[in-house]
Chains A and B, each alone.
Chain A
Amino acid sequence: MSYARIKSIVVCVLLVFALTVPALAQGDVIKIGLISSLTGSVSTYGQSVRNAVTMAVDDINASGGILGRQISLIILDDKGDGTEAAQAARRLIDRENVALILGPVITPSVMAVAPICQAAGVPMLTPTGTGDQITTVGDFIFRGAYKDSFQGRIMAQFAAENLGLKEAAIIYDVANDYSVGLRNAFKTTFEELGGKIIAEESYSTGDTDFSAQLTSLAMRNPQALFIPDYYSTAGPILMQARLMGMDAVMLGVDGWDSPDLSALAGGFEEGGYIVNHYSGDVDSPVTQGFIAQYTAAFGQAPDALAALAYDGVMIVTKALEAAGSTDPEALKQALGTVEAIEGATGTIKMDPEGTPIKSAVILKITNGKWELVDRIDPIGR
């Protein structure tokens, strides 16, 4: 037996050993797990979430923790992949014995983790997952973002009623459930209100060229174009659409909210409308403080995902305080009932089904700034 082979066997044994030894119990801390996509093609969103969460947790620890205990944050990467997210979740639950899981960031990961948390009875809160089906998995599953159906409907109502539009076109990412969910909701509501979707085109995550789709859309000359996607894709679409000579009203979603949108859209985002959680005009000191602190810490302004992740920690903190312990049942009850949380995305109240009730605003980009156009009360959704 060669030396090299013995060495490789020893390494393997050590590896297995390292995996089996349970993590050493630490002092009296509250363990919270964060599953985020730190690598892989959606890592930009995962890193925003990680930054905001670590920032929030550091603040809480610096001011004495929760219930007199410090928070120990365990961050695991899932590469934006469901299989990996499931592994990470099991590890957090079985080896780290976390009180709660924050994340994952994107729906394919969320949907892989949710059944595990539900079966294990560990509460989970995804700060960013928007798919309607997420919270139907069970009563331990919570989220910090709007449902797709809520946001899509708000924009459709605004387009049909406030802007008085009769016709609209949609371009959406067929491989991204956030985009598909918003498109479905927008389409249904807009048609209910007597509007007509005259053309639809789609693309796949990672595409950069939209000229083919936009040329087809431009042929139909729509009054408005709904682009339900993140700023990173919405920006280039806006630019290409305008360069193509399309003069439609551009309608967007909370994913557009990023300081980079303007640069990515080459300034062509001017005049667009979005649904958002908060507005720069009327926002609270919490929002301002969050933006300033994040910018100072990470050298770039936060995007919508960072703000949502920050609020995810706020919701969890409030729930832990209300529950008075890390008992899963008590924590679950508390998560479904906390209210009056002042977060970076406005005032939040949780409903027992697991989705936050918060107001929405419609913003318009005027001279490069987001201006408040309308405020929608969440009642009757």
Chain B
Amino acid sequence: MANKLSGLLKVALLVLVYAAVQFLEGRGILLPYHVQILSLCCINIILVVSLNLINGFTGQFSIGHAGFFAIGAYLSAYLTVKLQLPFIPAIICGGILAGLTGLAVGLPALRLRGDYLAIATLGFGEIIRVIILNTDAVGGARGFSGIPKYTTFGLAYLTAIITVVVIRNFVASDYGRACLAVREDEIAAESLGVNSTYFKVLAFALGAFFAGAAGALFSHYLQYMAPTPSQIGFVKSIDILIMLVLGGLGSITGSVVAAIVLTVIPEFLRGFAEYRMILYPILLMAVMIYRPSGLMAGRELTLKGLTELFKGAKTRAYHS
């Protein structure tokens, strides 16, 4: 009963956030500028949470997430621009192709571990970028322009919620427990009958699917894709990884919070010009040194936890 209630409460809260954004936007308090940042937050949430499934919950070490993102972005744009496909099917197609690529990338994960896997996935990401760079059908080096602006805040928000719910439920399911077992100790998991091969590849495919969907949202948000390292290459992969680690591996709410914070902070620092790129890494290093396991350190932020937090604060206030 209590579970059902808290579930309802969560849904109500999510709807409320959406309604509030719509209302404030209608009143002109939230400018298109803010809504654009919010949409970008949602897209980053999808990316970070999906990478969390691979790196955080299954214990693999992928730094090629931007590759999946790129596939979703370019394929969906190709479908809507060249073949006039509606947006939603295009997102799904982008996700599926990314997911299939994830299967292929997951295979080396069977033989490679840790840093070796990291460099292999980084290599995969760069190969995908170079292939896009050399594909004239999607603009090559000149980039893919003229993509319609289909991504709205609502759609990005909804997709982010779907991603979080699916991955949360996956992690809580038998499959997810198997993934956790693979992360904790692969040999022990194998000896208990967990097919580690299967779960690693599954995690890669599912994570890649959502990254592809995020890519589709992104290309129809920016309306232009360029095959640069910061857009779809290793710089982007590392950005996603930073958000993930800062939020805490294995914490979905941590990923969500970090994705939002790290999307907003660079925006806040933008006016500082050259000093921005000095402040940002210092902040990053400071957080890592003082909270090496990330902001959430593997724990989850829950409604219950939050209320207790505030109650705690109140009682403390009484005493002081």
A contacts B directly (C-beta below 8 A): yes
Interface residues, chain A, with chain B CB atoms under 8 Å away: 1, 5-6, 12, 15-16, 18-20, 22, 38-40, 43, 75-77, 79-84, 86-88, 90-91, 93-95, 107-108, 111-112, 114-115, 119-120, 131, 133, 137, 173-177, 179-181
How many residue pairs between the two chains, A and B, have CB atoms under 8 Å in the bound complex? Answer: 125
For B311, give the chain A residue with the smallest CB separation: A1
Contact A137 B145 (CB under 8 A): yes
Identify the interface centre among A88, A90, A173: most chain B CB within 10 Å of its CB.
A90
Contact B142 A174 (CB under 8 A): no
With known contacts A15-B265, A174-B141, A82–B224 Cβ distance under 8 A? yes
Contact B32 A12 (CB under 8 A): no
Q: How far is the CB of A336 from chain B (nearest CB, A)?
A: 21
For B24, give the chain A residue with the smallest CB separation: A20
Instruction: Say if the beta carbon of B230 comes within 8 Å of chain A.
Output: yes
Supply 10 A–B pairs (Cβ within 8 Å), ascending by A. A5-B309, A6-B313, A12-B261, A19-B268, A38-B273, A79-B277, A86-B222, A87-B40, A111-B145, A175-B227
Contact A131 B273 (CB under 8 A): no
List the 6 shortest-distance A-B pairs measured between CB atoms, nearest first: A108-B226, A94-B33, A94-B31, A90-B33, A1-B313, A177-B142
Contact B264 A15 (CB under 8 A): yes
For A90, give the chain B residue with the smallest CB separation: B33
Instruction: Say if the beta carbon of B173 comes within 8 Å of chain A.
Output: no
Give the size of the chain B interface in residues (CB under 8 angstroms). 43
Distance of A135 Cα from B172 Cα, bound (Å): 52
Interface residues, chain B, with chain A CB atoms under 8 Å away: 29-34, 36-37, 40, 133-134, 140-143, 145, 149, 222-228, 230-231, 261, 264-268, 270-271, 273-274, 276-277, 309-310, 312-313, 316
CB-defined contacts of A179 to chain B, threshold 8 Å: 141
Distance of A9 Cα from B161 Cα, bound (Å): 23
Distance of A112 Cα from B226 Cα, bound (Å): 9
Distance of A43 Cα from B225 Cα, bound (Å): 21
Distance of A40 Cα from B30 Cα, bound (Å): 30
CB-defined contacts of B313 to chain A, threshold 8 Å: 1, 6
- In-complex Cβ contact of B267 among A19, A94, A107, A177 (8 A): A19
CB-defined contacts of A76 to chain B, threshold 8 Å: 270-271
- In-complex Cβ contact of B276 among A19, A77, A114, A115 (8 A): A77
